A = this chain, B = another copy of it.
Amino acid sequence: MKILKKITECKSVVNNLKKKGFITGFVPTMGFLHEGHLSLIKMARKECGRVFISIFVNPTQFGPGEDFEKYPRDIKRDISLAEKGGTDYIFYPTAKEMYDTDFKTSIEVKELGSIMCGKYRPGHFAGVATVVLKLLNIVRPDKAYFGQKDYQQLVIIKRMVDDLNLDVEIIGGPTIRENDGLALSSRNKYLSVEERKNAIILYECLNMAKDMIKKGEKGLEEIRKTIMTDLEKNRFVKKVDYFDFRDPGTLEHVKRVDNDSKNILAATAVWIGRTRLIDNMIIKV
């Protein structure tokens, strides 16, 4: 496994691999790797001749007062996990390498970037889209892998890639969970023991929504309100940013189950103490 810190170095490796005809896979990460990332690396390993990951805690996708500074980092552990997981190249740039002082470009994916998490984290998805576009241009992978846990991010990136006519296949990998159902996230590290126990409430309320829909409940707005109330009752829940039912393709609100309904996205963002967690579920109707 090789660690590439410079953009030019990474591009030159990529050019060589392209010349040799390798299919390349890419898993962009912010590091502090967990089984979620490793499952994406495993997918890439199966489908591609060479596997790149990036480790870059991207400052531009954090808002003022968010957790950029304290975001967990452990590069040694990451390198070891990535290598064991089957990574060929880690692109590990500094912020200075990615953003020169005159940097001015920003990618907006309209509407999609300002709803759901975007409403509560203004600028977040512009930061994500911009850095992902840069990374895709640097690594030029045939396939890039993103976790479905960040479902809105996945939709936004797919839209951007289509809109900008990029030649990369965007692949979503399943959310990996702890035994009790909590979705893996580097931010779970922030939780106290008690918070950790109670954090399963996100997964529980998604399951509750699924059960109610499976039982034939049609009024999603009513389910939504019931669940919001439930969530807000939990004493470890400081705030519910949203619990929404959305179209999994367009992210538009879905208010009722009807005969045309196929899949429904249930998605939520909840503050457990001072930690903001997200989770979602595709519910088949």
User: What residues of chain A have their CB less than 8 Å away from a CB belonging to chain B?
Assistant: 7, 11, 100, 102-112, 129, 133-134, 137-138, 159-160, 162-167, 250
Instruction: Report how far A109 CA is from B103 CA in the complex, Å.
Output: 9
The answer to whether A105 touches B104, judged by C-beta atoms less than 8 angstroms apart, is no
The answer to whether A105 touches B106, judged by C-beta atoms less than 8 angstroms apart, is no
- Per DSSP, are chain A's interface residues mostly helix, strand or loop, or mixed? mixed
The answer to whether A137 touches B109, judged by C-beta atoms less than 8 angstroms apart, is no
- The quantity of this chain's copies bound in the complex is 2
Other CB < 8 Å A-B pairs besides A100-B162, A102-B159, 6 of them?
A: A7-B165, A104-B163, A105-B108, A106-B109, A134-B163, A138-B165
Smallest Cβ distance from A141 to chain B, in angstroms? Answer: 14
Instruction: Report how far A164 CA is from B166 CA in the complex, Å.
Output: 13
Chain A to chain B contacts (Cβ below 8 Å), 13 pairs:
A11-B165, A104-B111, A104-B112, A104-B159, A105-B107, A105-B163, A105-B164, A107-B108, A134-B164, A134-B165, A137-B164, A137-B165, A137-B167
